[in-house]
A and B are shown apart, each in its own frame.
Chain A
């Protein structure tokens, strides 16, 4: 009965067919991609790309060094140094907060709604 009704609505039937196709395709693809062979090929391909990228970056760094210009790595090191300072400051701030707490200094909360809300009473099921 329900099958007849389903097939009589072309929109519904189309949606069902699409879902079936999606599931079937995904299952098939996942079976293929779940093999050791696929994993090896995919990672080999990635390694080739990475090798090319590394070689290009090294060549570029040499060119920049010859021109007496900073390389990406040089700029990153400066960025990292700044980031390390930022982290140290954050840790100091955190430590100061902990010391403040240990001596009983309470942070002043910002004004807002009262924090007194209670959970709604549970409705016990009728016996």
Chain B
């Protein structure tokens, strides 16, 4: 009896696999179209404080013994905070809780029309200090560590630079822009030669979701289409689809922005680059990053299309801390906190860095 040609066997196996996947694709396609929005942010939590756009959560501890210093996550103002807690097994919050941290999070609800006058000072001299006070009252500890993501990192930096006396214990920033001259297309589109930020803010009050979302999507115009094709091709893969749907939901739930905050960010940070030059003043206080002396960690994504590597890289040079660490990873802006690389590298690094400084 002759042995079958290995090429024929391999081809037959491939054809069989493609047929199986095509059948599953047909079956799962309908399910995909009709399924409700995926559940996100499932880790048990309580709302500790709420005022307008500001939401402060406390996640229920999942360890029998926790580190002394609580961790406060500060979300970017453009998106919902459940990216920290996308799904069980894909949740930075869950990871930190199981590693023994007491975790709190600042999330942002869409600012209401009457919140159009919120500015950088409101976020950094009111919302963050108030949240820290609430955390301290709740857990009874005098100091707090902060982990800020993207603009949440910028707000945390401004807070830290204007409150050098504490009670901040450690500061971890994730993909946080400091040199806004390196913001690429975003900077070109908001060039003061053409972009009339005053007109936009004075007319609309709140910068609408469409504008914020378009500015993100235009950076990668093919991403949505390619994503759809990818999910169609892998629709038989439940894990892939689950993750895709959670990310898609998160991407679609972009937040509008308070007009004054947007105006100030554009003028002071994007045009003036004052966080980088050390000239930023918030409520009369100088937000010079060299004022920051607490331990600082910065996680940067090499292929970040929203905050370029060059925009976030100089952070550690600017802070005055002696204890500072940088983690450069291959991922993108979002995969750094919720993608496979986050699970494998970023969360463990962040957790061990915090653990050593949280007793």
Binding site for B on A (CB under 8 A): 8-11, 14-15, 18-19, 21-22, 25-26, 29-30, 33-36, 39-40, 42-44, 46-47, 50, 53-54, 57, 72, 76, 79-80, 82-83, 86-87, 90-91, 94, 97, 106-110, 112-120
Query: Which of B65-73, B262-270, B283-291 faces chain A?
Result: B65-73
Are the C-beta atoms of B233 and A47 separated by less than 8 Å?
no
Given the interface pairs A33-B185, A76-B114, the reply to whether A39 lies near B68 with Cβ below 8 Å is: no
**B residues less than 8 Å from A110 (CB atoms):** 138-140
Q: Assess whether B199 is in contact with A113, with CB atoms less than 8 Å apart.
A: no
Asked if A25 meets B222 with Cβ closer than 8 Å, knowing A50-B199, A50-B204, A115-B102, the reply is: yes
Instruction: Indicate with 1 or 0, residue by residue over B176-196, a CB within 8 angstroms of chain A CB atoms.
Output: 000000001100110101111
What is the bound-complex CA distance between A112 and B205, given in angstroms? 43
Q: A53-B204, A82-B114, A109-B139 are in contact. Are A119 and B359 (CB under 8 A)?
A: yes
B96 to chain A, nearest CB (A): 12
Residues B359 and A118 in contact, CB atoms below 8 Å apart: yes
Contact partners of B229 in chain A: CB under 8 A: 18
Partner of B138, one of A15, A79, A86, A109: A109
By Cβ-Cβ distance, the 4 closest A-B pairs, closest first, are A109-B140, A79-B114, A119-B355, A25-B222
Does chain A have a CB within 8 A of B126?
A: yes
Contact A18 B65 (CB under 8 A): no
Q: How far is the CA of A21 from the CA of B219 in the complex (A)?
A: 15
Q: Which of B21, B117, B196 contacts A47 (CB 8 A)?
A: B196
Assuming the A-B contacts A94-B129, A107-B137, A119-B359, are A21 and B226 also in contact, with contact meaning beta carbons closer than 8 angstroms in the complex? yes
Q: Looking at the complex, which one of A10, A54, A115 makes contact with B66 (CB distance below 8 Å)?
A: A115
Q: What's the nearest-Cβ distance from chain B to residue A71, in Å?
A: 12
Chain A nearest CB: distance from B205 CB in Å? 7
Residues of the A chain whose Cβ atoms lie less than 8 Å from the Cβ of B4: none
Residues of B with C-beta under 8 A to A39: 188-189, 191, 193-195
**Contact in complex: A43, B195 (CB < 8 Å):** yes
One of B195, B222, B356 near A26 (C-beta < 8 A): B222
Q: Could you pull out 12 A-B pairs where Cβ atoms are within 8 angstroms?
A: A29-B221, A36-B194, A39-B195, A43-B189, A79-B114, A107-B136, A107-B137, A107-B138, A110-B138, A115-B66, A116-B65, A119-B355
A123-B126 Cα distance, complex, nearest whole Å: 42
Q: Is the CB of A10 within 8 A of B200?
A: no
Q: A113–B18 Cα gap in the complex (Å)?
A: 52
Bound form: Cα–Cα A74–B295 in Å: 48
B98 within 8 A of A: no
| CB <8 Å contact, B221 and A26 | yes
Query: Nearest chain-A residue to B58 (Cβ)?
Result: A110
Q: Is the CB of A97 within 8 A of B137?
A: yes
Kindly identify which residue among A30, A94, A106, A113 contacts B63, using a CB–CB cutoff of 8 Å: A113
